[in-house]
Amino acid sequence: MSPPQPVKSPHAGSTGTLATALAHAAALLAAQPQRAIEQAREILTAVPHEPRATLILASALRRCGELGAARQTLTELAVRQPKAAQVQLELGLVLAASGESKKSIAALLQATRLKPDLVEAWQALAEQYLLGGEDAAAASATAQQLRHATKEPALIEAAVALCDNKLAIAERLLRDFLKANPTNVAAIRMLAETGARLGRYGDAERLLARCLELAPGFTAARQNYAIVLHRQNKSVAAIAQIDMLLRDDPSNPSCRALKGAALGQIGEYEQAIACYEAVLQAFPHQPKAWMSYGHALKAVGRQRECIAAYQKSIALSPTLGEAYWSLANLKTFRFDAKQMHDMQAFLAQDRLTDEDRYHLHFTLGKALEDAQRYEESFAQYAAGNALRRKSIHYAADENSEHVRRSKAFFTGAFFAARQGQGCPAPDPIFIVGLPRSGSTLLEQILATHSAVEGTMELPDLIALARRLAGRRARAQASNYPEVLATLDPGALNELGQEYLERTRIQRKLGRPYFIDKMPNNFAHLGLLHLILPNARIIDARRHPLGCCFSVFKQHFARGQAFSYDLQELGRYYCDYIELMAHFDAVLPGRIHRVVYEQMVEDPEREIRRLLDYCGLPFEENCLLFHQNARAIRTASSEQVRQPIFRDGVDQWRHFEPWLGPLKSALGAVAQ
Q: What is the pLDDT of residues 300-319, one digit of tens each?
A: 889 999 999 999 999 999 99
Asked whether the predicted pLDDT for residue 12 surpasses 80, the reply is: no
Alpha-carbon torsion, ordered 218, 221, 225, 227, to 10 deg: 120
Report the C-alpha gap between 600 and 330 in whole angstroms. 21
pLDDT at 473: 62
Inside any domain, residue 456 = yes
pLDDT(179) > 50:
yes
Question: Does position 4 have pLDDT exceeding 80, yes or no?
Answer: no
Which of the residue ranges 4-13, 162-171, 348-357, 522-531 would you say has the lowest mean pLDDT? 4-13
Q: What is the dihedral of CA 345, 351, 354, 356, to 10 degrees?
A: -50
**SS3 assignment, position 460:** helix
Mean pLDDT, residues 166-174: 94
Structural domain count of the chain? 1
Residues 395-418, mean pLDDT to the nearest whole number: 96
User: What value does the mean pLDDT take over residues 497-525?
Assistant: 95
Region 493-511 average pLDDT: 95
Does 452 map to a domain? yes
The region of weakest confidence among 95-99, 155-159, 478-482 is: 95-99
8 or 540, which is more confident: 540
Q: What is the CA radius of gyration of the chain?
A: 29
Q: What rounded mean pLDDT belongs to the chain?
A: 90
Give me the CATH number covering residue 666: 3.40.50.300
Least confident residue range of 98-102, 103-107, 259-263: 98-102
Answer yes or no: are the C-beta atoms of 664 and 548 closer than 8 Å. Answer: no
Residue 18 maps to a domain: no
- The domain in which residue 484 lies consists of 410-472+479-670
Mean pLDDT of the region 406-425: 97
Predicted confidence band of residue 639 (pLDDT cuts 50, 70, 90): low
Residue 449 DSSP code: S
User: Does residue 180 register a pLDDT over 60?
Assistant: yes
Mean pLDDT of the 419-439 span? 95
Nearest C-alpha neighbor of 301 from the set 624, 625, 633: 633
Using 50, 70 and 90 to split pLDDT, how confident is the model at 92? very high
- Looking at residue 625, what is its pLDDT? 78
Q: Tell me, what's the pLDDT at 402?
A: 96
pLDDT at residue 191 tops 60? yes
428-433/591-595 β-pairing: unpaired
Q: How far is CA 467 from the centre of its chain?
A: 21
| pLDDT for the residue numbered 17 | 85
Mean pLDDT across 181-195: 93
Q: What is the pLDDT of residues 226-247, one digit of tens each?
A: 999 999 989 999 999 999 999 9
Mean predicted confidence (pLDDT) in 551-563 = 92
The model's pLDDT over 564-585, given as tens digits with 9 standing for 90+, comes to 999 999 999 999 999 999 999 9
Per-residue confidence band for 626, with pLDDT thresholds at 50, 70 and 90: confident
- The tens digit of pLDDT for each residue in 218-227 reads 999 999 999 9
CB-based burial of residue 152 (10 Å sphere; 0-12 exposed, 13-18 middle, 19+ buried)? middle
* Chain mean position to CA 106: 26
Above pLDDT 70, what percent of the chain? Answer: 94
Q: Which residue has the higher pLDDT, 3 or 574?
A: 574
DSSP type of residue 595: E
Which has the closest alpha carbon to 167: 200, 135, 137? Answer: 200
Query: Would you say residue 380 has pLDDT above 50?
Result: yes
The reported pLDDT for the residue numbered 472 is 63
Confidence of residue 11 (pLDDT cuts 50, 70, 90): very low
**Domain presence at residue 358:** no
CB atoms within 10 A of CB 489: 11
Inter-residue contact 499 to 460 (CB < 8 Å): yes
608: confidence class by pLDDT, cuts 50, 70, 90: very high
Higher pLDDT, 629 or 43: 43
> Sign of the CA dihedral 197, 200, 206, 210?
negative
**Among 21-25, 213-217, 371-375, 403-407, whose mean pLDDT is lowest?**
21-25
State the pLDDT at residue 142.
86
Q: Is 156 within a domain?
A: no
| pLDDT (mean) for 127-143 | 86
In a 3-state reduction of DSSP, which class is residue 507? Answer: coil
Closest listed residue to residue 37, CA positions, set 29, 47, 45, 27: 29
CA–CA dist 155, 146 (Å, integer): 9
State the pLDDT at residue 557: 83
58-71 pLDDT per residue, tens: 999 998 989 999 99
Amino acid at 45: T
Q: pLDDT at residue 207 above 70?
A: yes
